[in-house]
Amino acid sequence: MMAIILLLGLCGAPGQPRAAERRQLVVVTSFPDSVYLPFKRAFEAAYADVELRMINRKTSAAISYIQDRASPRADLFWASAPDAFEVLKTSGELMKLGPGLRPDPAAIHGYPLHDPGGYYAGFAISGYGLMWNRAYLAARGLPPPKNWDDLRRGLYRNHIGITAPSRSGTTHLIVEMLLQSKGWDEGWRALLEIGGNLATVTARSYGVPDGVERGRFGIGLVIDFFGLRSKAVGHPVEFRYPDGVMFLPANIALVKGGRHAAEARLFIAYLLSDAGQKLLFRTDISRLPVKRAAYRRAPKGYPNPFTLPREASAPMFDIELSRQRYHLVNTLFDQLITFRLHELKEAWALVHRAEARLGSEDAPPQLKADLKRARGLLETMPVTGPRSKNPAFADLFTRHKPGFTVSEAQSRLEAAWKSAAIRRYDEAAQIAESVLERLDRAQEPPQP
């Protein structure tokens, strides 16, 4: 704490400009203005000689902005997804924070809250889960989902919203958590079946809570502060942490080559100060502080991740694995779900309908076998779990950026995955339709 106090004195006493000209601190962030504006206003009020210039980008675009060394050059990167910080750390775009910027506690449920190498610090804690609109579900007679697997049920068809992980670092973490907690094969089976129930894949992560609030769809897969904030400001929504949820830090880092490192460290120190941590409790922010002591001032009923139980069998999140296959996972999700959403939804609708019929009838074994094959076609992955962990293979993939082309190898694989997915989804739909037709014929009365 003493180190943070000393750091807060680097630029003079709060509210006392050290020079007539304000220095501009460039912050690249994935957070919406409802999160960063309260911090910007409070910090600038306390340190009048520093101005924060906020550059808002979705996480993948923020990574590209920093790696491309775009102008104005960033001083800070501020976002939720820890694997995004690992990507920038590995590419050499971050610099060490220095002493005093990694307060206790050091971990939550065994997971480090600050980079052990000293390149980024957690300022808040993030959980991930399910947000739903109470009125929407009640009007349609739908039960609130209790866990991720509930979202696979056919009754939720066209009632779920998500953002593509290639457009949202927090959605990427949800996807990667499912892959790590369930295993690669079962994780993708869950994601592909959930994909069959999607109403939409939104352009930005903010579109998911907005869609739930407005009743465009009933359920969203979100980072916790979206759900907690929406409920706190009066929307008819609820939020739940599913069993086995992993809590991870939301972070901030110094960008190498930034012009105002001293002021950047000052802002990090402010986020970690008592005043900065207290701001997280504002209803329009609703984030979980990284400092355990801060929860003594939490509003009644506010979730405390340090006291929420963790399943003994839940795996520890592998941040290095997530970083390594970051673009591979995003590419697979887009090629199999985002860009094939119509075909995927139609095929799963038929499979779910046929499964419901078979479950209520004494169906011939051949029909059950055919439908099992249809489900298998929808759950087939073009990449195995072991191959996803092969750095040489994962390194073939990069983010699609406007005006730039990906490698020939990535383009070739994407084209193959696309054509194979279209064939599989179409074949699965035809099989399910055939099963339904044969069931209908079996129920027809005999001709006189």
pLDDT digits (tens, 9 = 90+) for 61-103: 999 999 999 999 999 999 998 999 999 999 999 999 988 887 7
Pairwise pLDDT comparison (66 vs 19), residue with the higher score = 66
Q: What is the C-alpha separation between 324 and 343, in angstroms, rounded?
A: 30
Residue 90 vs residues 83, 110, 251, 308, 324: alpha-carbon distances, Å:
10, 23, 16, 32, 10
Tell me the domains of the chain and their CATH numbers: 2-125+246-297 (3.40.190.10), 128-245 (3.40.190.10), 325-448 (no CATH)
**Cα R_g (the chain), whole angstroms:** 24
pLDDT computed for residue 62 by the predictor: 95
pLDDT computed for residue 246 by the predictor: 86
pLDDT in tens, 144-200: 999 999 999 999 999 999 999 999 999 999 999 999 999 999 999 999 999 999 999
Q: What is the model's pTM? A: 0.88
**Least confident interval from 9-18, 52-61, 113-122:** 9-18
pLDDT computed for residue 18 by the predictor: 45
Q: What is the mean pLDDT of residues 400-407?
A: 88
Contacts by residues 229-235 (CB-CB < 8 Å, ≥ 24 positions apart): 229/34, 229/283, 229/284, 229/285, 229/286, 230/131, 232/283, 232/284, 232/286, 233/283, 233/284, 235/133
Q: Above 90 in pLDDT, residue 11?
A: no
- Buried-state track 8-26, b at ≥16 Cβ within 10 A, e below 16: beebbeeeeeeeeeebebb
Confidence of residue 4 (pLDDT cuts 50, 70, 90): very low
pLDDT in tens, 337-356: 999 999 999 999 999 999 99
What number of helices (H) and strands (E) belong to the chain?
A: 18, 14
Q: Above 50 in pLDDT, residue 13?
A: no
